[in-house]
Amino acid sequence: MDKRQQKNPVASSDNWYTPQWVIDALGPFDCDPCAAPADVRPFQIASTQWTEKDNGLTKDWHGVVWMNPPYSRVLLRQFCEKMAEHGNGIALLINRQDNVLWQEVIFPTAASMIFMRNRVCFIRLTAVLVSRSSVRALWHGGMSATAVCASLALRGSMLCLICEQTKIKRI
């Protein structure tokens, strides 16, 4: 890991909150297992929201799940495995198709993916918007999530993996 990131508390934080325009475009959601604490949560993402203190990994996920997971390596894999097991939802991920997590968990279980053209600016507790340069992929599990994402006006490329034929659609 880059030593500069280890020393930078902003870059190394797991607290990167989803901007409302993303949720407005993709929702509604039934469950958010990686929610911001209620006292700093900028808006409601799902009807059920679990914070770090609640430990969403220990809960029974239900319905359509929104997941902006913690990006530390161990937690990221655990949350992605749980999402793959649940099989119905959308996750905002770092676009790193070459790593083991993508090869072992994400590609084998994805219904579809959108590789977004533009960066996402996240909400920080300081109310400053910060861009994570490589966070540009939406991973979809289940046909309902794929149908929602296929109708979006996000710029990028959508890869449908459970269609009759694998397709890439420019959006």
Mean pLDDT by groups of 10 residues along the chain of 171 residues: 40 67 86 91 91 96 93 88 92 76 85 75 55 53 61 65 54 49
What does the pLDDT read at residue 132?
Answer: 45
What does the pLDDT read at residue 72?
Answer: 81
What does the pLDDT read at residue 59?
Answer: 98
How many Cβ atoms from other residues are within 10 Å of residue 3's Cβ? 7
Find the domain containing 145 and state its range.
3-170
Antiparallel, parallel or unpaired: β 89-94 and 65-67 = parallel
Q: What's the number of domains the chain is made of?
A: 1
Cα–Cα distance, 19 to 49 (Å, whole number)? 16
SS3 66: strand
Residue 158 has which token pair? 């959508």
Most distant CA atoms of the chain, gap in Å: 47
What does the pLDDT read at residue 155?
Answer: 66
CB 100 within 8 A of CB 69: no
